[in-house]
Amino acid sequence: MKKVVRFGSERDEQTYLAHLVLDGVKIATSSLKELQELMTKPKTSLNDRWIIQNGWAEEVCQVDVTTVELIPFGEVTERFAIDEGDGSYENWYNIHSHYYQQLLNKYDRVLSDETILECVYFKLITKKP
């Protein structure tokens, strides 16, 4: 399935993260499984193709999903955190604990170490000039 994806929430962040994908630094991403269910979003499947956009909704590249795993928030590894483009586990944890809690607050839910994340790896297929 093809899907348009913008990583991050703000325009500058979306553009920055799209360029990390282009540079091969960001090869993974995560999302809250619970929100997929609450918002009836489709789960990610192997071989899905994502059209990665920057903050101005411009396509910068396409990636294919290579791995999809359900992992508790408290069991995310340092390797995954680095592959998500955050540089270190500590940086990943600080960014994602705040961001995911903000998202869950809208549904009166609380982030815990047991909260399930959909952790996805992808590979770059095409770049836009």
Domain boundaries, the chain: 2-127
Arch. (CATH architecture) of 2-127: Roll (3.10)
Please tell me the predicted confidence (pLDDT) of residue 96: 96
Does 129 score more than 70 pLDDT? no
pLDDT confidence band for 41 (50 / 70 / 90): confident
Alpha helices (H) along 1-129: 11-22, 33-38, 78-83, 89-105
Please list, in sequence order, all residues whose beta carbon lies within 8 angstroms of the beta carbon of residue 17, skipping any fewer than 6 positions away.
Answer: 7, 8, 26, 85
Please tell me the predicted confidence (pLDDT) of residue 43: 86
pLDDT confidence band for 40 (50 / 70 / 90): low
What number of helices (H) and strands (E) belong to the chain?
Answer: 4, 5
pLDDT (tens digit per residue) in 69-82:
999 999 999 999 99
Q: What is the pTM of this model?
A: 0.93
